[in-house]
Amino acid sequence: MSTFQIDFGGAPSKVVGIDLGTTNSLVAYMDLTGPRVLGPIVPSVVAVRADGTFAVGEEARALLLTAPDRAVYSAKRLMGRGVEDIQEELKLFPFHVSGGTESVIRLQVGEKTMTPPEVGAQVLRKLKEQAEAELGETVSQAVVTVPAYFNDAQRQATKDSGRIAGLDVLRLVNEPTAAALAYGLDKRNEGTIAVYDLGGGTFDVSILKLHDGIFEVLATNGDTHLGGDDIDNLLIRIALEDIASEWGQDIAGNQEAVQLLRRNVIAAKEQLSFAPLTTIELDYQGRQYKRELTRELLEKLITPIVDRTLGPCRACLKDAGLTVEQIDEVVLVGGSTRIPLVRHAVRNLFKAEPHTELNPDEVVALGAAVQAGVLAGDVADTLLLDVTPLSLGIETMGGVVAKLIHRNSTIPASVTEQFTTSIDGQRNVLIHVLQGERELVKDCRSLARFELKDLPPLPAGLARIEVKFMIDANGILQVTARDARSGQETTVEVKPSYGLTDEQVEAMIMESITHAEDDFRERQVREARVEADNMLLAIEKAKQNEAWFTLPEAERDEATRALNELLMVYHSDDHHLILAHIEKLNQATMSLAENMMNTAVQGALRGTKID
């Protein structure tokens, strides 16, 4: 079995694995004894001190309580997204959010303005320092994990964070895939594994198939806006309503009080994972709030949130073409999976006892360290194959999408298809790159447009344009268009300015299912009209040829009648009817085509002698 190995030149650099989380982040390293966490867990909070320097982790979390306008948290939720995507979060975030150029989010933190990748870079830099302190040498390379459902923009934003932090991100690995590695499930000969990852701000579920040391992600699903934060926010809203009722004062606008309440709510939630009863308390400006909270009540309150995770699980099984009985192992990842209700729901759905032996907060970082070991050449016989969550293609005639890489295709992936021109002498070709599951351009998401220019002027249909889609191991798409005759080539790396919301991603998949029959029917109609356009254009050209005038009048009349009948049904929604009249016109012009061929051959041979 082959092994990934990277030659770094000179002395090999240590490659660390990093879990850049919504709530907490960790760094780990693979040594001779196995993967281990380096340093403490780092809260994913960044603050700006009064002197303008940055505080990260515990110190920043403390500043969040006393100076909430100087701190930022949950920046992972903002990675690769636009201002319009985060309207709900704006009600809860204490920091000011605005849109900059190309809709990139900008955060006002103290006196500084930062983008989400810059916030992530501060956390990564802190983890880099921890690793260097423990390993005793400079660390410049890392494997960083991302939710499996992150799209191109969100993955690119994560890579940008690494670059800003001075780290060469060798690979982005899906968090569920990393979790399977951490549990050593790659040591099985065969198996199908479900990884349920409910963290602070994101939810992922992946179905992995293991065969002879190769991990292949059969399907992935999830919600980039679902996690423990939603439970926290629900409890905070309830507590704020209680306080407003008891004190006769609404403290929702007081960020210092809200952040203090948030810390106490999270502590109470965590206690209920192992105790049946706890209290939420708040002492603020001489007033005290206390509310008793039982596990039973908590579970009743958060059941809708937990149920939201089960839909993507069922969809993932369906995409993988599997039933729950075919799942061999289930792995739980993320701090929110400590909640007994979550474990009970997963156990009931998959009809199996999930793995919970490892610390759910550490398991992703440990798996990233294993993959780092693979890339450094220290771990053999492990190969990871991830998938792309949405189909990718280009626009063709009639506003139809030609899908080159289909949803849940294994990555890295490379697909090349040939296309041609539709106009005589066409010199430029517009390549329109799209993402989505629908059949028509108008229903899919536009990712990029670029032109292949200065083509040799040829008759329509003779040009050969090769379009190549290549997705690298990090899920970043590169599109190349090349003229096969001249070698003229243009390449674009698809980097959207911001990503899809979770609702848009889910809607794209659900709409493709709901409208599948209508979409396919409309695609057939459009393709039939494109074929009719080509036929009508060919006939118009033929009528200028001398061969048309040599046809008997009856045949010209029959061809003209068939042409007019095709024009009459052209706008019909019945593709069978359009195709039938195309065939009728084709039959009526058979003699015309033969005459044109004979005329062309005679012209080519005129003046030639046979010795």
- Positions marked active-site: 19, 76, 175, 197
Longest Cα–Cα distance of the chain, Å, equals: 116
Q: Are 324 and 330 in contact (CB under 8 A)?
A: no
State the DSSP code for 225. T
- Say if strands 392-396 and 429-435 run parallel, antiparallel, or are unpaired: antiparallel
Each residue of 561-579: b (16+ CB within 10 Å) or e?
A: ebbeebeebbeeeebeebb
Q: Which of 592, 471, 452 is nearest to 535 (CA)?
A: 592
In whole angstroms, give the CA distance from residue 164 to residue 114. Answer: 12
In whole angstroms, give the CA distance from residue 443 to residue 436. Answer: 8
In whole angstroms, give the CA distance from residue 533 to residue 74. Answer: 53
3-state helix, strand, coil split of the chain in percent (to 5) is: 45, 25, 30
At residue 381, the 3 state secondary structure works out as: coil
Torsion of CA 55, 59, 60, 65, to 10 degrees: -150
Partners of 500 in the β-ladder:
none
Q: Which of 185, 94, 199 is nearest to 150 (CA)?
A: 199
- Say if strands 465-471 and 413-419 run parallel, antiparallel, or are unpaired: antiparallel
In whole angstroms, give the CA distance from residue 412 to residue 408. Answer: 12
Q: Are 494 and 444 in contact (CB under 8 A)?
A: no
State the DSSP code for 13. P
Tell me phi and psi for residue 567, to 5 degrees. -60, -35
Q: Are 542 and 592 in contact (CB under 8 A)?
A: yes
In whole angstroms, give the CA distance from residue 173 to residue 194. Answer: 16
Residue 70 CB burial class (10 angstroms; 0-12, 13-18, ≥19)? buried
Q: Is the dihedral of CA 66, 72, 77, 83 positive or negative?
A: positive
Token digits for 516?
A: 């599948």
Q: Is the dihedral of CA 161, 359, 339, 71 positive or negative?
A: negative
For the beta sheet containing 410-411, the strands, ordered from the edge strand earlier in sequence to the opposite edge, are: 329-333, 190-198, 203-211, 214-223, 383-387, 410-411
CA distances from 226 to 161, 173, 332 (A): 22, 20, 16
- Please report, in angstroms and rounded to a whole number, the separation of the first and last CA atoms in the chain: 65
SS (H, E, C) 454-506: CCCCCCCCCCCEEEEEEECCCCCEEEEEEECCCCCEEEEECCCCCCCCHHHHH
Q: Are 78 and 104 in contact (CB under 8 A)?
A: no
